[in-house]
Structure 1
Amino acid sequence: MTSSSAPSRKALSKIACNRLQKELVEWQVNPPAGFKHKVTDNLQRWIIEVVGAAGTLYANETYQLQVDFPEHYPMEAPQVIFIPPAPLHPHIYSNGHICLDILYDSWSPAMTVSSVCISILSMLSSSVAKQRPADNDRYVKNCKNGRSPKETRWWFHDDKV
């Protein structure tokens, strides 16, 4: 991807940098089960490998999450998407966007990358069907030009999946 097609991102604030460095150290000491942080020199974008939990529909399947941190993290939620191919799941679109309230309206600065990862794994683990959201094709078509999932007005009406 060329830099011209990427949305312009502001550099992380000092608070965001300090917080992320602290989270990175904590991650290295105590990584959440089922996740591997791929080390890069970019503090603003983390690539995280996810392995489906044993005994679930996604057991032993490996996916990658891309976590992009905004200038004012943790006051603002990170953007978290699956790098395609994304898992087949009723709340995950084929372009990797994830419909999960804590990534948007229910975000709290007390949350960490680890807690977000655990929530995503729990969402995967509780799924009873490998399928795309009903409106997948329409949604993906409307997300052209690298639109961020944070620009979507999500409806969180189904907490059973």
Structure 2
Amino acid sequence: MSSISTRRLQKELKEINNDCPQGIALVKAEDFETWYLSLQVLGESVFADETFLLKFRFDNQYPISSPSVTFVVDEHFQAPLHPHVYSNGHICANILGDGWSPVLSVTSVCISLQSMLASCTKKERPEGNDRYVMFAPEDPKKVDHFSS
């Protein structure tokens, strides 16, 4: 991990620990490569009372390059049924690809995803979900689908 990445992630971790936005909680951050945060949608929503787990993976180019962000899908958690979230947890959001800016942070990504879920009116998977999941690599950054 580069010193720039490490310093930035140390700063973000301190901010998350001191003043995390409502509905977002740090679950695990043992290093500067992988973090887990829980996410709840605030207010009335089709996702009321549901909690999701996000996995952030950082490379040594962060914050110049975006983190790899997915919803965790395992025996305890599922990806939300949303038109921009595949059943394997991959998220189709511009800010995680071409729309990424180094001024964005882990917290701002979480808030954007909260907003994306809060504005959803119908629980459904993206078109082509089954085909996408069948061929998608583990790392969503290796797929060029963010601008769709």
TM bucket (normalised to shorter chain) is over 0.9
How far, CA to CA, are the matches of 2:117 and 2:57 in structure 1?
Answer: 21
The alignment partner of 2:63 has SS state of coil
**2:143 paired residue number:** 152
The alignment partner of 1:48 has SS state of strand
Q: Does 1:90 align with 2:83?
A: yes
**1:3 paired residue number:** none
Contact 2:79 2:87 in 1 (8 A): yes
Contact 1:53 1:59 in 2 (8 A): yes
Which sections of structure 2, spanning at least 5 residues, go unmatched? none
User: Aligned to 1:132, which of 100, 105, 125?
Assistant: 125
How far, CA to CA, are the matches of 1:15 and 1:155 in structure 2?
Answer: 26
Which sections of structure 1, spanning at least 5 residues, go unmatched? 1-11
Q: CA deviation at 1:155?
A: 5.5
How far, CA to CA, are the matches of 2:97 and 2:5 in structure 1?
Answer: 18
**1:61 paired residue number:** 50
Q: How many residues align?
A: 144
The alignment partner of 1:109 has SS state of coil
**1:39 paired residue number:** 28
User: Aligned to 1:112, which of 105, 108, 113?
Assistant: 105
Q: CA deviation at 1:54?
A: 2.3
How far, CA to CA, are the matches of 1:132 and 1:79 in structure 2?
Answer: 20
TM-score in terms of structure 2 length? 0.93
Deviation string, structure 1 residues 32-57 (Cα, Å, up to 9, x no partner): 22111013422211100011222011
**2:14 paired residue number:** 25
How far, CA to CA, are the matches of 2:69 and 2:146 in structure 1?
Answer: 17
The alignment partner of 1:118 has SS state of helix
**1:73 paired residue number:** 62
35-44 or 95-104, larger mean C-alpha shift = 35-44
**Structure 1 residues 104, 41: CA separation in 2 closer, same or farther (over 3 Å shift)?**
same
The alignment partner of 2:64 has SS state of coil
